[in-house]
Chain A
Amino acid sequence: MAHAKLLPRQYLILGLVAVCAPLGDSCLSRGMTSLPAISLAHPVTLVAAVFTPWIVVGIALLIGFFASYLTALSWADLTFVLPATAFGNVIVALLSRFWLHEAISLERWAGIVLITLGVGFVAQGPSLTEKPAPVAEQEQAQ
């Protein structure tokens, strides 16, 4: 049965979705930027990139993300799960700034704050759309 209000275990799953995705993306970025530029004329090089160490770690983290994500989708709406886990954007920004040493302007930080505010809005609402019970079930209940 799905719950409109989340249990602690379900918050943990959402936390895993939020953490594993940005960590995985960061590993992918680290791996891809260390490779020479890949053109669409040689798509096989893109597949070969999958077997480099950083990409392997990134993929492992993204598998963890996907397992948590599927579990979350089994008891919550897609339009709840995605925004609720968008705190990952903040993690990406922090990783980009302090690990990949990318420059992040004040505007980008403001954008990340707005995104986080937006997801805060959605996370306060119900996690699942309540569908009316079929007529037969309603009659049984009466």
Chain B
Amino acid sequence: MTIPTPTAQPGLWSATAMIAAIVLLSTAGEVLTAATMKSIGDLDEIRVHSGMKGAIRAVLTCPLFFAGVSFLALAFFSLLFALNHLNLSLVAPASASLTLVTNAIAGKIFLKENVDRRRWTAAVLVCIGVYLLAH
């Protein structure tokens, strides 16, 4: 059985726009979701004290969670659209890796995380990796 792949690959700008949409929407969603989980606390401990229902309730009663999920849903549909036009081996690593870099910046600014030299080095290696992936 032949497995279909996208036939006509779009141009550089179209591919860039598709991946950029995934990256920006994912970053917004992930930062909002991380902020939610930081405000809730360790889910494992909540589960020990209040059970699985308590852990689910703790997440679902936080309004910030739904803002994060909305952005992640938009990112998901952007991903579906991109996968309809581009190869998975380009879309998945490129969007995941670029999201890593934008999240490092957003994490430092919005979540006040300690993005130290080790984490920045990782981001640079990932950037070079993405450049190589795109060729």
Q: Which of B50-102 contact A (CB under 8 A)?
A: 59, 72, 76-77, 79-81, 83-85, 87-89, 91-93, 96-97, 99-100
Judged by a CB distance under 8 angstroms, whether A119 is at the interface is yes
B77-A46 in contact (CB<8A): yes
B113-A110 in contact (CB<8A): no
Of the listed residues B84, B96, B113, B131, the one surrounded by the most CB atoms of chain A closer than 10 A to its CB is B84
B125-A78 in contact (CB<8A): no
Number of chain A residues whose Cβ lies closer than 8 Å to a Cβ of chain B:
67
Q: Which of B4-52 contact A (CB under 8 A)?
A: 4-8, 30-31, 33-34, 37-38, 40-45
User: Shortest beta-carbon distance, A136 to chain B, in Å?
Assistant: 19
A121-B42 in contact (CB<8A): no
How many interface contacts (CB-CB < 8 Å) are there between A and B?
A: 188
A122-B42 in contact (CB<8A): no
A70-B88 in contact (CB<8A): no
| Contact among B42, B76, B77, B124 with A1 in the assembled complex (CB-CB below 8 Å) | B42
A102-B5 in contact (CB<8A): yes
B89-A88 in contact (CB<8A): no
19 A-B interface contacts by CB (under 8 A): A1-B45, A34-B4, A66-B72, A78-B34, A79-B103, A79-B113, A79-B119, A82-B30, A86-B126, A96-B88, A102-B87, A105-B135, A107-B132, A114-B129, A115-B93, A115-B130, A121-B121, A122-B119, A122-B122
Residues of B within 8 A of A (CB): 3-8, 30-31, 33-34, 37-38, 40-45, 59, 72, 76-77, 79-81, 83-85, 87-89, 91-93, 96-97, 99-100, 103-104, 107-108, 111-116, 118-119, 121-126, 128-133, 135
Residues of A within 8 A of B (CB): 1-2, 9, 21-22, 25-26, 28-30, 32-35, 37-38, 40, 46, 49-50, 55, 62, 66, 69-71, 73-75, 77-80, 82-83, 86, 88-89, 92-93, 95-97, 99-102, 104-105, 107-108, 110-115, 117-119, 121-122, 124-125, 129-131
